[in-house]
Structure 1
Amino acid sequence: PSNELIPILKHYNIDTVINLRARNEDAKVLKDQPFNLVHIPIYTWAINRQDLLQTMQAIQTAKQNNQKVLIHCYHGSDRTGANIAMYRIIFENWPIEDAVKEMKQGGYGFHVIWKNIDHLFTPDNVKWIQQQLLNPSS
């Protein structure tokens, strides 16, 4: 987010900002603001289930504290889209197919070149993330 977006974040009572970009401009722009900043650098070409787990853990922590979360990357479509799709599956109990369809065809600008993202959405990966959220040591 930029300085211009700070009033909007406050208007929507955003508490936690999760930045998925490699660059962490949020630390500079939001350093004097009352937001919980979480930086999870994800490279779109190498995104994996551990990346999604880290984001789900940050969301889980925020939810446990009744916090509202904003997730962003550069385009807001691929890295963010994958994480929102997994959020839909894990926290809102969406079927995998529906979450992936929204990610890819929901009008959020998904770039079809990232075929590797499709491979993240398997029952095994969903189960693994669910297990990690319930019991982080397994």
Structure 2
Amino acid sequence: MAPHDGLPRMSPPKFDLAASGGRRRALWDLMAVDHGFIRLVYVNRARVSEKLYRSGQPLPIHFRFIVRRGIKTIVNLRGRNDSGWYVLERESCEKHGIALVDFTTKSRDTPSKELIHGAKRLFETIRYPALMHCKSGADRAGLMGALYRILHEGRPVEEAVEQLSWRYGHMRQAKVGMIDYFFEQYRRYNRERPTPFLDWVDRVYDPAAVKASFMSQWWANLIVDKILRRE
């Protein structure tokens, strides 16, 4: 019988890798529910700089590449989670002595000012070489790749937004195009009133107004949301 001391009870972990069948269930969740079978053949990995990679969700077998490249930090842009992909990634990082940093981002929203400043601090403090990933490696990885080039390398926005490209599976005509629209608002403002990017973010940028003015094309939304089932 359960105790009646009025204290809250910790729920058991969704995937306990040490339990009987736990690893098998976690792998099934990673491969079937999280569409990891696609990343067996297409991990969507690329360089952002000499010391930073971007990719889709890594599978345990992808840690061979990660270890060979001497990766010291993995930045998980999907946020902390109790799903199979997360517990397996955490285990692989612990096994190889790699720091796992959870930094939650969104692909269907304008980036908040807090996220932008948080990204700057992140890039300044993590150990390199590093790899950052979302689920597919297309949208959130593209946003952070662009911010890395702007905030950490001081490159122009026009060059940084190359990280948001169809080559990585990014479709700007869909809701994820809100990221492109955000950068375009800065570029328009900067053409008329030259302003450093972070100054614009702090003094001019209104995330709610930018989101409200964004209009996406229905067919691209259908592809990304209903067919590809991106997060």
Q: Same fold (TM over 0.5)?
A: yes
State the number of aligned residues: 127
* Residue number among 181, 190, 197 corresponding to 1:126 in the alignment: 197
Q: What are the equivalent positions in structure 2 for 1:23-102 lying under 5 Å apart?
A: 24=81, 25=86, 26-48=89-111, 49-62=113-126, 65=127, 67-100=128-161, 102=162
**Measured at CA, do residues 52 and 77 of structure 1 come closer, stay the same or move farther in structure 2, by a change above 3 Å?**
farther
TM-score by length of 1: 0.76
**Measured at CA, do residues 54 and 27 of structure 1 come closer, stay the same or move farther in structure 2, by a change above 3 Å?**
farther
Aligned twin of 1:15: 72
Structure 1 counterpart of 2:59, which letter? S
Residue 44 (structure 1) shift = 1.2
Which SS does the other structure have where 1:71 is aligned? strand
Output the CA distance in 2 between the equivalents of 1:3 and 1:58: 25
CA-to-aligned-CA distance 1:19-48 (integer Å, 9 cap, x gap): 111454132442333011101122211251
Kindly report the root-mean-square deviation, in angstroms, between the aligned alpha carbons of the 2 structures: 2.7
Greater gyration radius: 2
Which SS does the other structure have where 2:167 is aligned? coil
CA-to-aligned-CA distance 1:83-120 (integer Å, 9 cap, x gap): 101111122222111211x1233622212212221243
* Residue number among 169, 172, 175 corresponding to 1:109 in the alignment: 169
Between stretches 49-58 and 116-125, larger displacement belongs to 116-125
TM-score by length of 2: 0.48
Give 5+ residue unaligned stretches, structure 2.
1-57, 203-231
Output the CA distance in 1 between the equivalents of 2:148 and 2:60: 27
**Measured at CA, do residues 104 and 11 of structure 1 come closer, stay the same or move farther in structure 2, by a change above 3 Å?**
same
